Each structure stands twice: as structure tokens, then as C-alpha cells.
Chains A and B, each alone.
Chain A
């Protein structure tokens, strides 16, 4: 399998990784954010008093068991759900304004490719909608397909690609309109472990190179610790933040970093926090 950066010479003079967000502006600011779904029998508290600040250039993972509201939290950032309490800003704007300004690219759990469009035309979909001129669309589609190593598959239809390839197309699609913020909802959840490892490493390189803000929802502790500058541990019923764990693993790390004592120590802290969340349950 090719890598996300293999085809681009850019990697050679890649800028320093953006893992020192100390002086960076705040990308996402949530204060006492709450969301309650009104259902037929009883209201469901999906989010309860969530406070979190994410700086530009950070890679933040949201981890927690199913139903802990991590996807809901991300959907609130994307203005796909409306919070019922508290405040949230995205790049200093309300989520709706940020969405209208096309501030973020969203990678869903499933690739969500349109089956009647070729890979290349799937990539051009957001560009068409945003009114990018035709030549620029073609150029960007070619550039980002190259970046995810799928240049040779441009004219294939989604069903002709493997699951991992489809998900890479959906990542390229989210990058194609060059948003500063990338929201990724368990993008590798449905893939086998080997493909997943590979894409993890590629994503890390991509983040180091582009200095985007990435928010990443996952079930997997190794994935979260390996990728992130911070891991946010969440717990269900009601969805809330239990702990925020810094993981300053060395920059330009490879998958081997997962066997270092530092990595294992952080993973251990994350696991303990997750377990603490579960002890509240029945």
C-alpha cells in the first residue's frame, strides 16, 4: 500500500510539527456545553456540562465507550446537532457560521462516497458546491488523490475500491477544499488492524506537515495515544469529560513508538481513566 505522503516531495522539507500549540489561537472553545435529546419516553442527556478548549494545530482525540456522546460532541462542533445549553465557538464563530464559512472538513465513520461518481468526481464534489473553477477542481482532485496514493484509481467507481481505499478517498475529499479544521469520526473503525496502523501513520505525517487542527473520535486507546497531542476521556450517561491527558510523544514518531515505556505509561493512564468512568455504571 502506498503512503499518504509517498508521492509528494513536500515531505522532505516539511515544517516542524505543530505540536507546540502554546501561543496558538483557540480553535474550539466549549463552556458548560449540554445537549439533551427529547425522546418519546424519557429525555436522554447526551452531553452534560462539557468544558474543553482546543488550540489551533492540536491533534485531540475523544475516547470513550459507545454512547458516551463523543460523536454527538463532534456533531455539535460541525453544527449537525444543536446544543441545548452552554456555549461553543469554532474559530471564534458560532458552529453555524463556521459551517457556512466551510471552516471544517468532516470525515464520517463510513466513507459516504456517492456511488454514481467516480473517485475523481467524488473528490470534486465539495469543490463543485463551493464554486471552485473547473481547472482548479481538476488540479486539486489530482493533487489530493496523489497524496493518499490513489492516483491510479481516479476513474474507478467506489465499489471497485477496498474499504481502506474508500476511506482514504473520503479523507482526500475532506482535505480537497483545504479547511483548517479536520473533524474525524472513527474514520478507521471499520478497517482491519493492519490497514488501520498504516493509515494512522499516514495521518500523523499529514498532520505534521499541514499543521491542521484535528479532532479525532475513536474507541481505540493505542490509536488515540499514538496520534494525539491530547486525549480527552469521556464517559456515558450522561456524556461528560472525565479526564484530559497530555501525550507529548516525540515528533515524527513511527508505529514503533507504541512499544516505548512513555507510550505505555500514557496508555495506562487513559485506560485507568476509562475504567474509572465505567465504575459509575451499574
Chain B
């Protein structure tokens, strides 16, 4: 270490120090490794296609041309990262957002089903939790069914939900939202039940000494105590709500939505399109979870949580 580094005041580490101590550097290193592995993987997986292409051209090709071809195929087995990035950029920024060729449009379709399903799932989840905590009978009769409901593979029931709801005239957004709801109420119920039961005996005794009514105990003790448990559940729920909405778009031959985009991509071998839709879905999921996180921070700060 140089004297320059030693003389630097504490609390102001060098740029390298900040990188080294923070998470930025490890994340960047992992990202670099993934990208390199991806490029190498693209060469390896696309080798067959490249050999065919070069054989058709009937002229000897060097290594450079082989690699270049592997990274610029129209319908590669594994597209190179820059191909996905270009396709992503084109379909997000250069298209009209109402056009079915715009990823923003598809993200909006899937996102709205996700949010509607999430809102319904939250309502259902909270309602079930309140029932389970308030009535012993519900605790015994409902909880086993709630757990069973989650052991059935969603891919198996999704088509049935869509067919049944389609028969009663519900198409488009609603069936997808129902599938989302079916998936996302579960973590909320579990988290809320735990949260509503989290007050310790002392806090409950205190309410008893005031001869508080059951509804006062609920609103002034159980409900605020459950908030710290609710938000982690909401984060899980909104992420699987997105999965539910995408799964809901797969079996219907839906025209719009990220699921539809994935499906058409795989019909026509448009792997670049699949991958960019995949990235859009990941970004959408991250944005939704982050939004819940912001609401969580604001709420808990208002409730006096330690910063």
C-alpha cells in the first residue's frame, strides 16, 4: 500500500476500494463470466448450423469466419448476446408501443393481467388468513385444502381454467388473472397467518387488561404486527403472479402478451425473439418486485422501522 493510500482520510476509500468493498465488482465479474460463457456456448451449439451454411457456400472458411457466422445466424440454436440486445432494443424503442411487434405492448398485456391477478390474489390471501386466524374451524378445514391446491401443477389446470371461463364468456385478461390469483394467494395466506399470529403473549395480555374487543385486538395489534410479514410474501406473490400470467397465455394461442410472444417465437424458430421476450419478462418481474419493495420501505418507515 502506498503512502498516498494511507494518507487518504477514512471513510473515503479509493474508487477501486469502493468497487472492491461493494457488490458492484463481484456482480460485474459474474456478468462478464456469463457473457463469455454465452458467446462460447453460442459457437458450440450453433456449430452444426454453421457447418451446413459454410458447406453450402462451398469455399474454405477460417476460424474467424466460422465464429462470425456462429454469432450472426438468423435462427441460431443459441443467439449471441449482442443479437438479443439488438432485437430487444429494436422491439422496445423503435416500434410503435401499440403495435404487436413492440415488446412494450406485450409487456403491458402481460403486466396488466399480472397486476389484476395480484390484487385479487392479495385480497383472497388476506381474507383467507383472517378467516384462518379468527376461526379455529377454518384453520382445520381450510389449511389442508390450501396446501393441496398448490401441489397441483399449474400447467395442468391452466387450460381447464381458460376453457371453463371461456364458456361463461370470460376471455382475454380475466382467465390469465385468475391463474395468477390461483398461484399468488398462497404465499400471502401463509405469510399473513404467520404475521397475524406474531404478537407475543405480553402484547395480547396488555389488550386483555384494557378489556379490548376482538376487533380492536385485530386492528390495533394483529394487523399492524402482520405488516412485516406481509411484504416479503407480496414480493414472492407478484413474481409468481407474472409466471401465472405468462403460463395463462401459453395454452390459448393468445395473440398478445409475453407468453404469446414466446410461443410464436418457438413455432417459427425465432430464437432471438424468444430470448428478447424472456429478457423483457425478467425485467418486468424485477420492476414489479422493486415496486412492492418501495411500498414496503415507505410503509415500514411510517411504522417506525429502524432505517
Contact = CB atoms under 8 A, between A and B. Distances in A.
Q: Do A and B come from one complex?
A: yes
Interface in B188-228: 202-203, 205-212, 216, 220-221, 224-225, 227
Nearest to B209: A106
B200 to A, nearest CB: 8
Contacts of A112: 202-203, 205-206
B306 interface: yes
B209 A99 contact: yes
Contacts of A102: 210-211
Given A118-B304, A159-B306, A129 B210 contact: yes
Contacts of A280: none
Interface string B117-144: 0000000000000000000000000000
Contact of A80 (B209, B216, B303): B209
A126 B210 contact: yes
Contacts of A78: 209
Contacts of B206: 106, 108, 112
B9 to A, nearest CB: 30
Nearest to B299: A116
B303 A116 contact: yes
A37 interface: no
- SS of A interface (majority): loop
Contact of A129 (B202, B205, B220): B220
A177 B227 CA distance: 28
Contact of A128 (B211, B220, B224, B304): B220
Nearest to B211: A100
A2 B127 CA distance: 47
Contacts of A106: 205-206, 209
Nearest to A101: B211
A115 B305 CA distance: 8
Given A99-B211, A102-B211, A116-B224, A108 B205 contact: yes
Contact of B304 (A99, A108, A115): A115
Interface in A53-96: 78-80
Contact of B220 (A79, A105, A125, A158): A125
Interface string B226-239: 01000000000000
A77 to B, nearest CB: 11
A130 B210 contact: yes
Contacts of A157: 304
B202 A80 contact: no
B199 to A, nearest CB: 9
Contact of A116 (B205, B210, B212, B304): B304
A104 interface: yes
A102 B216 CA distance: 15
Given A110-B202, A112-B206, A129 B224 contact: no
A79 B208 CA distance: 9
Contact of B212 (A110, A117, A129, A158): A129
The winner among B202, B210, B212, B227 for most chain A CB atoms within 10 A is B210
A114 B203 CA distance: 8
Contacts of B306: 159
A82 to B, nearest CB: 13
A211 to B, nearest CB: 21
11 contacts: A79-B208, A102-B211, A108-B205, A112-B202, A112-B205, A115-B304, A116-B225, A117-B304, A129-B207, A129-B212, A158-B304
